[in-house]
Structure 1
Amino acid sequence: MNDQQPIEEAPRLDTPEGRYVNRELSWLSFNRRVLAEAENAAFPLLERLRFLSISASNLDEFTMIRIAGLEGQATRGLETLGIDGRDPRQQLEAIRAEVLELVQRQQGILDDLRQLLAVEDIWIATIDDLEQDQLSWLEEYFENDILPIITPQAIDPSHPFPFVANMGMGVIFRLKRGKRQTDLVEMVLIPSGAPRFVRVPGESGSSRAIYISIEQLIVRFAGLLFPGFKILGDGLFRVLRDSDIEVEDEAEDLVRFFRTAIQRRRRGHVVLLELDDECDEISEALLREQFDIDAAMIVKTPGMLGLSDLAQITAEPRPDLKFEPFSPRYPERVLAHDGDCFSAIREKDLVVHHPYESFEVVVDFLRQAAVDPAVVSIKQTLYRAGDQSPVIAALIAAAENGKAVTAVVELKARFDEERNIHWANELERAGVQVIYGFTEWKTHAKVSLVVRREEDGYRTYCHFGTGNYHPVNARIYTDFSFFTADPALGRDAAKLFNFVTGYIEPTELEKLSISPIGLQDKLYRLIDHEIANAKAGKPAGIWAKMNAITNKGVIDKLYEASAAGVPVTLVVRGICSLRAGIPGLSDNIEVKSIIGRFLEHSRMWVFANGYNLPSKRASVYITSADAMSRNLEHRVEVMVPVTNKTVHDQLLDQVMLANILDTERSWRLDPDGEYRRMRVDVGGFNCHEYFMANPSLSGRGKASSASDVPRLTLKGKRK
């Protein structure tokens, strides 16, 4: 499906719709690219099922946040316009049509994968597919394991309609007993802690795996739950609620505010009601009425609800149906210093490229700081840290060892608010000074600062990241961890922390750029420099890699650069509100999106600086910020210049070039607004496979030579 009209029918370039792509529609286009990987015959079957699950999970979050936000604006009569000039109701109308089509496509893909997995003896079965001995086992399982944890709830004047939690699923029954004149309506909510799928044991020695969804068991064995009743009808339903939290400027206690807000979120208004298409009509009417569904979206499907739960089945122990295992490398240069992170960093700057290189080096950096008698102070930002966080453990150990430890914990990290409150409490108990940052801005920068007493005085060691301090995500997300002992960056990082902890706005920063007080202006100046070079007849060019670009100011600057003759290449994984390759607007701009085994998350900018790209004199920056208004104007972010030769070469000649050269995992944004797969043929290039097979340049030990890493050129890989 096209994201926009064909180019010959496109809106005029002097209108918002002609210049920009709606953010929400671009996101739906991104999720279709994710879903397309579930159809990718080159991927193992369980990985394809995982992509289907990810696509469904993405769509759930989009509904709970983006659709809910637009619904709220429309209900309150707000006329806030999207970047393309559409008001909330116009956006909702366009979104709903595409969401319904996306849901239908998900169901079709599930049907195809069911058949392919069955050939491999993995059955996502319907209960009617089972044999009698399997049904007998399931009936016993239902009596022993399901009945004790479910609770039928009558719905009548003395039993009000029960509360259904966000992402809650249930079965509604219409019953009759004896000569009773009126029907009885009962609801059975599926407990969130129950497994969504039950694995039916196969015959002894059989490799067959059969999965049955829990809702099928409840419907099939409802007679055990309602003995003596006649079941007149039933229906499966699922609800999604508004899950965004808006921080009140006048909130005096952020922790208390978020504890209350989290409870409110669980009871947010319903924005989506999913129904199976065989839902009993009377029960459906009751659900519509009780959920005030006129203001929400209704999706009826003949297939399975809650496809995100398919992730449970991907855990099936079938390595032949999954990607080949990959073990991240530990940087050889740190090992060459006997594992001493500080010694390796002191020698020269280092970039660790996750997930190809292990996140353990980040943890080791903090663990060593925690026990090193020479370390006097540690400062750390925390946006997302995960459930079992070794980073938190290291900070606690450091405080217990008498270090001065400061942790900036961001409570506004969406869906991690409760976990972050827990970690803040744990850190405070250990003696860590916990700061919650700004009320109106999120602290999204990823920075560690360690001050160490050495022979020649105090030295500051810094870690700047493009991703979160989250050990699980670091195995899936591509990100950069930049370690440096550069004194100027250390001084700037200290000013950053003073800004967040004490509201002391930094002045005269030496190298860092920080949003929301200067990073966007820095980008403008860098783009303007390329424009000036192009107009003066000098080489010019801009390369950038990011997750999203929606900021109107940055997009307009790139359009200006294109008009001046500056070639611009953008690798944008997700949302892209910029239109590429449009005559008279963006002739010199190319946009591609990479979707594959790893989730592209690293962010960097490259500016030609008067030389042909790639060049050793190009200006290279890594950043925690996407080119979005929320990042540049409403979050604390950092952008770090890379000047060390080896790190510069790694980021430009290895990482950025590999992303530009990739064909096997790439989609090109064409002038008609549609993303199309790039050709996969003989001589194609896969950047993920390249990174898995080759060590990074700055992480090489002295025993490795430059020839160990195949160098890349714009014309392709050089042997």
Structure 2
Amino acid sequence: MMEPALADAGLGDAEDDDFDALETPDAVLPDHRFHDRELSWLAFNQRVLELAEDPNVPELERANFLAIFASNLDEFFMVRVAGLKRRILTGLALPTNVGRSASDVLADISAEAHELQLRHADTWTQQIRPALSDAGIEIADWAELTDAERASLSEYFQAQVFPVLMPLAVDPAHPFPYISGLSLNLAIRIRNARTGRQDFARLKVPPMLPRFVDVPRSGEIVRFIRLEELIANHLGDLFPGMEVLDHHAFRLTRNEDVEIEEDESENLIQALEAELLRRRFGPPIRLEITDDMDDVTLELLIKELDITDQEVYRLPGPLDLRGLFDLSRIDRPDLRYPPHLPTTAVAFQPGDSNERPDVFKAISKADVLVHHPYESFATSVQAFLEQAARDPHVLAIKQTLYRTSGDSPIVQALIDAAEAGKSVLALVEVKARFDEANNIVWARKLEKAGVHVVYGLVGLKTHCKLALVIREEDGVLRHYSHVGTGNYNPKTSRIYEDFGLFTTDPQIGKDLTRLFNELSGYAIEKKFKRLLVAPLHLRKGLLRHINNERKNAEAGRPARIRIKVNSMVDEQIIDALYRASMAGVAVEVWVRGICSLRVDLPGVSDNIIVRSILGRYLEHSRIFTFENDGDPISYIGSADMMHRNLDRRVEALVRLSEPAHIQELHDLFDLAMSPQTKSWHLGEGGVWTRAPEADDDLLIDLQDRTMANVQRRRRKRSVR
């Protein structure tokens, strides 16, 4: 039987109704109490870059972090910078969260991004490329190749590259071509040998070909040449009868954020498809060029692309280091992190027989908390849905899908269930940024299989991670629920750190049933017993818990707040944490990315510490724990502390009930906050400092230690 203290996640429905009447502390907070969110994001990407700069990280992993940095920065420009620029141009720009004008912030971003991109390029040319070469992997220039190697590569060029190249001339008969976003291009100046007239041509580096071309092997050394380098040394084949005067690489970033204006009658799928087409022609926001580009070519690009000098990034070394992802095909395990093998969660491990584990039987015994990728997604979440699809006692499956992989077994399980005659509801969030096209494809495939597909609520993204299975057992319907912090995506589950709760708790089942009914029908209005749901009640519930900790501290009772999120931006939440700190509450914030909260405000943030941990896995789970006068309260779920999550998305946090699960979260926090653990510490002025690591006293890697702890639990189960 459920304890009374666990009956209501919001500390009482009646109390929620008068939340706005809660006593507001008299303490006056300083005006300048937030960090700029855009600059804080750049600080996060700097932490990624610091992993690439770390000589203790294996060489191919360092290259991968360079590629992650580049990919992150592309998205930042396409969304955040583009949004700022759009608001400035339309005259709708409001002051930022620190009270500065959008144009001033844009100038700050430009200065910081220029510095980071130069540092990024230097890390490749001065550190990682030489380190790879020392390890037997060379990224060669054309001039460094032997005659035999050049001849072999020329054959490859003629057979595999030349047929797909499309040189586009610019002259009175040929207007300047459209430059697609994030494409790598060569700007080429040529001269007609007969007339002496100079012209310009643009050549797009084919994105469908490998960025690093294998050079015929010589001994143990593995050699590659960049595709654009190979093309640049065969331009004569593309412009016969012309003299190639010069060539330079350039790359354009465009505004690619999707904006959809919804109304009740609009077909969201059709609107998105139209918007995705418009996205390809978004205005330019960044031009990257090589540092040797001549002024004539640059002036032409600036003029034709209608871009400002501030938006030009002149970089040493190769452009678009996302291409370093291509090095993942190199079979050199000695240059990578030692492998981590996910284990099956103890509750889902098979018994002595050879029979397939019964997921429902395991969940019916007790709640199961799984921690990915340390514990397998395939043998937990995927197995749960696949068993539901084939189980004749399962009547219905309801699930949210925000991002999923192209060959998703999760989607296939829903299709199998529908084809088996079960009632299946899939809430597909087609507005998941940069996954819109993929989600449209899968939504239509689900519809064709007979799945009831809905696209969420008007004006809100559905970001919560929920699955509900209704099973008939002895004439009674039983709810099997899963609430997670991460997407139902088998591929990202291998690299994203997330938690998921499986439970047959009848109250959680009722909450999910009501929530799914509202998602497929009308707006979210009801309150829930074991869930905190945005946009109406999640913020209220968290503020109430934070304020409760403040009151406990003021009364001399135990008080502590621990929060793990991807981003900490929301001003109301931050202000509540400041007031809790001022009352003596120990506040620990574990954030991966943006953090607008400051720790350098005397008398305000004295009891707040902020840590960030980056590594082989992307820290993605969201955790909220409150001491509650010695009776800890813990939630996991999908919500970050950002306006969009709290006000414009459907999010859900679930309250844990098992003491062992609550202790597991506290143990993880203890490890993350330990001075012996590798982490970054937020300090004065928003500067993040990486904890020093002495050679004779190596710090603990949280992710390695967590994997070891999970493996240890499995071994204990095996011994029994």
TM-score under structure 2 length normalisation: 0.92
Partner of 1:572: 591
Which is worse superposed, 206-215 or 100-109? 206-215
Question: Does 2:43 correspond to 1:24?
Answer: no
* Structure 2: distance between partners of 1:664 and 1:117: 28
Partner of 2:148: 133
Look up the equivalent residue of 2:689 and give its one-letter code.
R
Question: Does 2:519 correspond to 1:519?
Answer: no
Q: In structure 1, which of residues 178, 187, 190 is the aligned counterpart of residue 202 of structure 2?
A: 187
Q: Is the 8 A contact 1:200 1:210 kept in 2?
A: yes
1:50/1:508 Cα in 2 relative to 1: closer, same or farther (>3 Å)? closer
* Structure 1: distance between partners of 2:644 and 2:523: 21
Q: In structure 1, which of residues 268, 274, 286 is the aligned counterpart of residue 282 of structure 2?
A: 268
> 1:290-349, CA deviations, whole angstroms, 9 ceiling, x for partnerless residues?
110128711111211001111101321111101112210011221246511100000000
Q: Is the 8 A contact 1:620 1:652 kept in 2?
A: no
Look up the equivalent residue of 2:206 and give its one-letter code.
P
Partner of 1:300: 314
1:411/1:456 Cα in 2 relative to 1: closer, same or farther (>3 Å)? same
Question: Does 2:386 correspond to 1:367?
Answer: yes
> 1:144-175, CA deviations, whole angstroms, 9 ceiling, x for partnerless residues?
11110101111112211111211111112111
Question: Does 2:203 correspond to 1:200?
Answer: no
> 1:116-158, CA deviations, whole angstroms, 9 ceiling, x for partnerless residues?
1111111112212212211111122111111101011111122
Partner of 2:161: 146
Which is worse superposed, 574-583 or 334-343? 334-343
Structure 2: which 5+ runs fail to align? Answer: 1-26
Q: CA RMSD in A?
A: 1.8
* Structure 1: distance between partners of 2:293 and 2:80: 28
> 1:156-215, CA deviations, whole angstroms, 9 ceiling, x for partnerless residues?
122111112111111121111224142122211122212211111112xx2211111111
Partner of 2:234: 221
* Structure 2: distance between partners of 1:684 and 1:37: 15
Partner of 2:376: 358
Question: Does 2:651 correspond to 1:637?
Answer: yes
1:513/1:15 Cα in 2 relative to 1: closer, same or farther (>3 Å)? closer
* Structure 2: distance between partners of 1:506 and 1:697: 44
Question: Does 2:55 correspond to 1:36?
Answer: no
Alignment of 1:637-656 (within 5 A): 637-653=651-667, 655-656=668-669
Residue 611 of structure 2 aligns to a residue in which SS?
Answer: strand
Shift of 1:704: 5.8
* Structure 1: distance between partners of 2:511 and 2:301: 56
Look up the equivalent residue of 2:359 and give its one-letter code.
C
> 1:691-719, CA deviations, whole angstroms, 9 ceiling, x for partnerless residues?
111228998985567xxxxxxxxxxxxxx
Look up the equivalent residue of 2:282 and give its one-letter code.
G
Residue 299 of structure 1 aligns to a residue in which SS?
Answer: strand
Partner of 2:367: 349
Partner of 2:16: none
Partner of 1:717: none
Alignment of 1:78-93 (within 5 A): 78-93=92-107
Q: In structure 1, which of residues 439, 459, 484 is the aligned counterpart of residue 458 of structure 2?
A: 439
Look up the equivalent residue of 1:668 and give its one-letter code.
H
Q: In structure 1, which of residues 407, 414, 423 is the aligned counterpart of residue 433 of structure 2?
A: 414
* Structure 2: distance between partners of 1:373 and 1:45: 51
Look up the equivalent residue of 1:236 and give its one-letter code.
A
Alignment of 1:441-480 (within 5 A): 441-455=460-474, 457-480=476-499
* Structure 2: distance between partners of 1:133 and 1:17: 68
Q: Is the 8 A contact 1:664 1:679 kept in 2?
A: no
* Structure 1: distance between partners of 2:310 and 2:447: 42
* Structure 2: distance between partners of 1:638 and 1:704: 38
Look up the equivalent residue of 2:325 and give its one-letter code.
A
Question: Does 2:439 correspond to 1:426?
Answer: no
Question: Does 2:357 correspond to 1:339?
Answer: yes
Q: Is the 8 A contact 2:627 2:633 kept in 1?
A: yes
* Structure 2: distance between partners of 1:525 and 1:15: 19
Which is worse superposed, 427-436 or 192-201? 192-201
Residue 326 of structure 2 aligns to a residue in which SS?
Answer: helix
Question: Does 2:170 correspond to 1:158?
Answer: no
Alignment of 1:366-405 (within 5 A): 366-405=385-424
1:110/1:437 Cα in 2 relative to 1: closer, same or farther (>3 Å)? same
Q: Is the 8 A contact 1:603 1:624 kept in 2?
A: yes
Q: Is the 8 A contact 2:397 2:425 kept in 1?
A: yes
Look up the equivalent residue of 1:97 and give its one-letter code.
A
Look up the equivalent residue of 1:414 and give its one-letter code.
R
- What is the aligned residue count? 685
Q: Is the 8 A contact 2:562 2:624 kept in 1?
A: yes
1:702/1:125 Cα in 2 relative to 1: closer, same or farther (>3 Å)? closer
* Structure 1: distance between partners of 2:716 and 2:519: 37
1:42/1:179 Cα in 2 relative to 1: closer, same or farther (>3 Å)? same
Q: In structure 1, which of residues 248, 251, 265 is the aligned counterpart of residue 261 of structure 2?
A: 248
Which is worse superposed, 401-410 or 281-290? 281-290
Which is worse superposed, 399-408 or 71-80? 71-80
* Structure 2: distance between partners of 1:672 and 1:302: 30
Shift of 1:281: 2.9
Q: Is the 8 A contact 2:402 2:432 kept in 1?
A: yes
Look up the equivalent residue of 2:83 and give its one-letter code.
G
* Structure 1: distance between partners of 2:718 and 2:164: 60
